């Protein structure tokens, strides 16, 4: 049983890694297979008597090896951050462990294998809620390089993809445990895969013909290492980014800078003069990452992590302030308290923006998601519901390793599919990309490259089912699984008590 749980942990890690040095076709095929086998091992373990507490060490091990890229970020804080984020995964273990165990007790092996995929996919949805949620490392994320299988995410979100992989994995577990004749569930799972491919093929054909006039866009990727960012002044960062912006091709309509391209209040003098001049000289809309001063927060010099959007005439189109802040990274809880304030006043403290809204420009409506916000489907869906025609993701991924940056990058692929919007992703050190509404990068930069990345996007309207009704499909799966676990009088005649 323990061997099966640790096997599942290792397979979850192997299948969830981006593996950037391998040919893209290889992980696109192997990752879903590994993740499917991970669910097989997990469900076999519960069939052999695993309890919720038996999950702690294997899933903690999974978190530790999956997040190992956090360690080299900082010699002092890297290991602490590694342990802290892993602890968040551990906090979410009891619900799924209890649910899987309860389903087995209520329905026996045969029923358990039908309900377990719903429980796992529903649990992934449950643990995606901020501020302590861990929205990455879902089974469905392993399909990010296989667009034909991902298109159903516009209806179900990633939870639908996780469900399919889980059903196939449970089908394999059924064959392994009950014999070769028990192939019905495996056949259902493979049929669901065929259904995903058929739906994906139809949607890809529909999305192959963009309508309307394109916007020519450029991402400025200055590739300033985090260590240099700490040592350089805000003016050094600003002038360095402005210098690279001069390489933007003539005729570009929209230029995007990464998150905190400079640590200045760029919508105020004197920095504003340089920002507005850059937009005027280039005759483009400029979305620049920097600080924005806010007021009335009861804090000395309160600021937000913001995107300042400038029109080609050099006028201010609007400011979007990041709403979804990173706990401990951008703010400390209870920072105004006597206990926390002495520490908080010596560390960067940001305040959340007042809502998700697009910025209206002469081009159209820009929906800006800053860094962490792009991992939450609900945040980007809110921007589209409010009228965003193109999504812009600004991030500063140099603070991550290459593996961490790619894990962050593939989240934007799913946001494009879920909202059916073109996504312009600009990262300080990569990966910057232009992603079409089917989740296919049309152009992308390399990691740790100083460059200007150019491409085209097409503004789009309309709302997908996920945008209109939310990503509640995972919640529905969870509700069904919980209902089955608590259903009275079902399943095995002899009840076992949780000890």
Give pLDDT tens digits for 249-304.
Answer: 999 999 999 999 999 999 999 999 999 999 999 999 999 999 999 876 667 778 99
- Per the domain annotation, does 89 fall within a domain? yes
Q: Are residues 274 and 195 in the same domain?
A: no
pLDDT of residue 221: 98
Q: Are residues 120 and 233 in the same domain?
A: no
pLDDT of residue 231: 67
Q: Are residues 172 and 219 in the same domain?
A: no
- Per the domain annotation, does 55 fall within a domain? yes
Measured between alpha carbons, how far apart are the two ends of the chain, in Å? Answer: 17
Q: Are residues 229 and 84 in the same domain?
A: no
Q: Are residues 198 and 227 in the same domain?
A: no
Q: 402-461 pLDDT, tens per residue? A: 888 899 999 999 999 999 999 999 999 989 999 999 999 999 999 999 999 999 999 999
- Per the domain annotation, does 493 fall within a domain? no
Radius of gyration of the chain (CA): 24
Q: Are residues 91 and 155 in the same domain?
A: yes
- Per the domain annotation, does 491 fall within a domain? no
pLDDT of residue 498: 42
Q: Give the Cα separation of 114 and 356 in Å (integer).
A: 38
- Per the domain annotation, does 497 fall within a domain? no
| Count of domains forming the chain | 2
Tokens (6 digits) for 248 = 């933007």
Q: Give the Cα separation of 453 and 451 in Å (integer).
A: 6
Q: Give the Cα separation of 287 and 291 in Å (integer).
A: 13
Q: Are residues 18 and 47 in the same domain?
A: yes
Q: Are residues 231 and 190 in the same domain?
A: no
- Per the domain annotation, does 249 fall within a domain? yes
Q: Which residues of the chain have pLDDT under 50?
A: 493-499
- Per the domain annotation, does 127 fall within a domain? yes
Q: Do 466 and 157 meet the contact criterion of CB atoms below 8 Å apart?
A: yes
Q: Are residues 389 and 241 in the same domain?
A: yes
Q: Are residues 151 and 239 in the same domain?
A: no
Q: Are residues 49 and 158 in the same domain?
A: yes
Structural domain including 330 reads 215-458
Read off the pTM.
0.93
CATH of the domain at 296: 3.60.110.10
- Per the domain annotation, does 492 fall within a domain? no
Q: Are residues 267 and 136 in the same domain?
A: no
Instruction: List 215's β-bridge partners, or say none.
Output: 457
Sheet holding 303-310, edge to edge: 316-321, 303-310, 285-293, 254-256, 215-221, 451-457
């Amino acid at each position: 049983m323990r061997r099966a749980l640790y096997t599942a942990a290792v397979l979850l890690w192997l299948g969830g890694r981006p593996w950037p040095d391998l040919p893209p076709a290889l992980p696109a095929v192997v990752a879903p297979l590994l993740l499917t086998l991970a669910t097989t091992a997990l469900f076999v373990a519960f069939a052999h008597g695993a309890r919720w507490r038996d999950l702690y060490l294997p899933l903690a091990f999974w978190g530790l090896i999956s997040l190992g890229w956090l360690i080299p970020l900082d010699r002092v804080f890297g290991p602490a951050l590694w342990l802290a984020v892993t602890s968040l995964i551990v906090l979410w273990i009891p619900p799924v462990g209890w649910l899987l165990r309860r389903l087995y007790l209520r329905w026996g092996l045969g029923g358990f294998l039908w309900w377990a995929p719903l429980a796992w996919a529903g649990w992934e949805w449950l643990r995606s809620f901020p501020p302590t949620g861990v929205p990455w490392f879902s089974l469905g994320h392993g399909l990010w390089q296989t667009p034909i299988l991902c298109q159903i995410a516009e209806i179900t979100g990633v939870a639908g993809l996780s469900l399919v992989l889980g059903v196939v994995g449970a089908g394999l577990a059924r064959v392994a445990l009950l014999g070769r004749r028990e192939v019905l569930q495996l056949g259902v799972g493979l049929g669901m895969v065929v259904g995903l491919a058929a739906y994906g093929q139809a949607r890809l054909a529909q999305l192959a013909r963009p309508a309307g006039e394109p916007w020519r866009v450029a991402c400025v990727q200055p590739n300033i290492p985090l260590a240099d960012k700490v040592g350089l002044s805000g003016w050094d960062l600003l002038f360095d980014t402005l210098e690279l912006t001069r390489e933007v091709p003539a005729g570009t309509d929209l230029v995007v800078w990464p998150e905190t391209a400079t640590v200045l209040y760029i919508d105020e003098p004197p920095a504003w003069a340089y920002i507005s001049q850059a937009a005027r000289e280039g005759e483009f809309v400029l979305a620049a990452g920097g600080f924005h001063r806010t007021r009335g927060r009861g804090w000395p010099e309160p600021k937000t992590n913001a995107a300042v959007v400038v029109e080609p005439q050099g006028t201010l189109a609007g400011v979007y302030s990041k709403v979804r802040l990173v706990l401990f990274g951008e703010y400390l809880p209870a920072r105004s308290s006597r206990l926390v304030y002495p520490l908080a006043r010596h560390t960067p403290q940001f305040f959340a923006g007042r809502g998700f809204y697009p910025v209206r420009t002469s081009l159209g409506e820009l929906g800006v998601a800053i860094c962490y916000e792009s991992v939450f489907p609900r945040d980007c869906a809110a921007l589209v519901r409010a009228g965003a025609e193109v999504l812009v993701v600004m991030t500063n991924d140099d603070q991550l390793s290459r593996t961490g940056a790619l894990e962050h990058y593939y989240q934007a692929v799913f946001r494009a599919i879920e909202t059916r919007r073109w996504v312009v992703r600009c990262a300080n050190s990569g990966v910057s990309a232009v992603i079409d509404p089917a989740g296919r990068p049309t152009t992308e930069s390399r990691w740790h490259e100083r460059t200007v990345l150019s491409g085209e996007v097409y503004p789009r309207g309309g709302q997908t089912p996920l945008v209109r009704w939310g990503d509640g499909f995972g919640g529905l799966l969870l509700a069904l699984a919980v209902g089955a676990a608590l259903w009275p009088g079902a399943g095995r005649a002899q009840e076992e008590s949780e000890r």
